[in-house]
Amino acid sequence: MSQRIKIKALLESEQTGIEVVVKGWIRTFRNNQFIALNDGSTNNNIQVVVDFENTDPNLLKRLTTGAAISVVGELVPSLGKGQKVEVKAKSIEVLGDSDPEKYPLQPKKHSLEFLREIAHLRFRTNTFGAVFRVRNTLAYAIHRFFNDRGFVYLHTPIITASDAEGAGETFHVTNFDLLSIPKTDSGEVNYKDDFFGRATNLTVSGQLEGELGAMALSDIYTFGPTFRAENSNTTRHLAEFWMIEPEMAFYDLEDNMNLAEEMLKYLIGEALKHNADDIEFLSQRLADEEKQKPQHERSEMSLTEKLQFCLDNDFQRLTYTEAIDILKESTPNKKKKFQYPVEGWGTDLQSEHERYLVEKHFKKPVILTDYPKQIKAFYMRQNDDGKTVRAMDILFPGIGEIIGGSQREERLEKLEQRMDEMGVPKEELWWYLDTRRFGTCQHAGFGLGFERMVQFVTGMGNIRDVIPFPRFPKNAEF
Ligand code: ATP
Ligand code: MN
């Protein structure tokens, strides 16, 4: 018997009149005659035509939404609209039944919130099929981008004793019996008795270890899970997310920005090239969703146009100080429309400010540089003005911050002085400081939140809908 062919290949087939084997899950079965079959290889279904007069009625009854079937039939030109070919079934075998009374996915539109509760089945919808195929393309493209440029993929640890950002939003890793935790004489937790003999946590960033690699291999990148116990129930934060963190020796901030912009454009281009059908579908989905909104809240561009626009235009680069001036003078600030008014220099930008710059003022992606040192991490290179550091944040429409990065402080004395000022324990980071002791050099890097990138390319509004099984406060189902 001939081999199974995936539906994507079948639909692209130029040859008809051949016998094919196709397997998949039934989306719908109309008029006892037309099966819409999907196997996840594409957003499009193949139509399987059933000769119902010559088919066992007991078999027909089992052709329900969600059932897995195998079909042997002839690939023929389709008379119906919307598809070139269809399969005229010769024999159908039900591989796995699906009780239509109990199957949670009905052939109708379900809300994204409902689908999140049945995340184990939501892969079977058009929307999530498209999202996860795009996610796959982006993941693969990241590896290709860096490998084509001679970067080494470095696996930094997931369990670590350092909290890179010093933000303290970590998940502890312990082997203690929580009901009888060993204590020291002074009543503190005695980590000496724990598995690693010290306090450990899940990593919040692979950057510090990444820098160690760059100080020998020149260009490295990480691509792995990161964990933050931040109790933020936003549409852009997860407790477990994937991050891409390149670190490059001999790069300054300018080189860093150039690489980041080139990478983001490459990723968008790859998705448009390999997932045209999926993005077209997601673009339509978003347009339909926006029809529910008042006119002035709708996007001026469709998803596809927005992606193309990002590809075709240079990102706007300016300093934090310049951005503050623009924000201070902006209409929403003067009319007191911002929840957090922009008054002085030195505070962090809120997402309403970032979105104003990107969506209203410049109407394109923005790279902000040279932030006040007090709102950035200890490892960022200090500018001569004594007030700012060589940081960069890349802000995207609808997303806000998608990348955070900087040129790193390579001067030992400056770095130690900043660690002292910020209360970062030097003894614990002796290995990090060693790179500044032995053969230090200018270097830079950044972190891209993978899910935020998937959100941008798919147009999905909630970050929980672009990772298969989202982790967020009070939720770790599946
Ligand atoms: P934000 O201000 O949005 O919380 P951050 O300043 O904490 O971001 P970084 O520590 O610079 O972010 O992390 C680098 C990148 O990782 C960010 O630009 C963002 O794309 C992504 N990121 C950060 N926190 C999360 C999270 N909780 N869930 C998903 N992605 C995240
Ligand atoms: Mn954060």
Please give the distance, rounded to the nearest whole angstrom, from the Cα atom of residue 282 to the centre of ligand 2: 28
Q: What is the mean pLDDT of residues 236-260?
A: 98
Q: Are residues 97 and 138 in the same domain?
A: no
Indicate the residue among 78, 107, 136 that finishes a domain.
107
Indicate the residue among 81, 107, 133 that finishes a domain.
107
Q: Are residues 327 and 225 in the same domain?
A: yes
> In this predicted model, what pLDDT tens digit does every residue of 350-362 receive, in sequence order?
989 999 999 999 9
Ligand 1 neighbourhood includes 228 CB (under 6 angstroms): yes
Indicate which CATH number applies to the domain containing 65: 2.40.50.140
Q: Are residues 213 and 150 in the same domain?
A: yes
Q: Which amino acid is at 409?
A: E
Q: Are residues 302 and 385 in the same domain?
A: yes
> In this predicted model, what pLDDT tens digit does every residue of 163-210 receive, in sequence order?
656 666 899 999 999 999 999 999 999 999 999 999 999 999 999 999
Banded model confidence at residue 79, pLDDT cuts 50, 70, 90: confident
Return the pLDDT at 163. Answer: 63
Which ligand is in closest contact with the Cα of 231?
1
Q: Are residues 79 and 153 in the same domain?
A: no
Q: Are residues 30 and 165 in the same domain?
A: no
Which ligand is in closest contact with the Cα of 222?
1
Q: Are residues 102 and 143 in the same domain?
A: no
Q: What is the mean pLDDT of residues 303-308?
A: 95
Convert 7-26 into a string of H (helix), E (strand) and C (coil): HHHHHHCCCCCCEEEEEEEE
Range of the domain at 339: 124-169+204-465
Q: Are residues 131 and 17 in the same domain?
A: no
Q: What is the mean pLDDT of residues 143-165?
A: 92
The best mutation among 135, 202, 221, 237 to test binding of ligand 1, ranked by most ligand atoms within 8 Å of the C-beta, falls on: 237
Q: Is residue 186 part of a domain?
A: no
Q: Closest ligand 1 atom to the C-alpha of 402?
A: 20
pTM of the model: 0.96
Task: Name the closest-CA residue to atom 15, ligand 1.
Answer: 449
Strand order in the sheet with 200-202: 159-160, 200-202, 172-173
Given a cut of 70, whether residue 252 has pLDDT beyond it is yes
Indicate the residue among 63, 79, 107 that finishes a domain.
107
Ligand 1 neighbourhood includes 237 CB (under 6 angstroms): yes
Please give the distance, rounded to the nearest whole angstrom, from the Cα atom of residue 204 to the centre of ligand 2: 10
Q: Are residues 56 and 137 in the same domain?
A: no
Q: Are residues 75 and 164 in the same domain?
A: no
Given a cut of 80, whether residue 43 has pLDDT beyond it is yes
Task: Name the closest-CA residue to atom 9, ligand 1.
Answer: 404
Q: How many domains does the chain have?
A: 2
Which ligand is in closest contact with the Cα of 447?
1
Q: Are residues 354 and 451 in the same domain?
A: yes
- Strand-pair partners of 287: none
Structure token digits, residue 370? 């040279």
Q: Rounded to an integer, what is the distance from CA 28 to the centroid of its chain?
A: 31
Which of these, 347, 345, 352, 404, lies nearest to 380 by C-alpha position?
404
Q: Are residues 51 and 138 in the same domain?
A: no
Please give the distance, rounded to the nearest whole angstrom, from the Cα atom of residue 71 to the centre of ligand 1: 47
Indicate which CATH number applies to the domain containing 420: 3.30.930.10
Q: Is residue 432 part of a domain?
A: yes
Q: Is residue 178 part of a domain?
A: no
Q: Beta strands 388-396 and 400-407: pairing type? A: antiparallel
Which ligand is in closest contact with the Cα of 228?
1
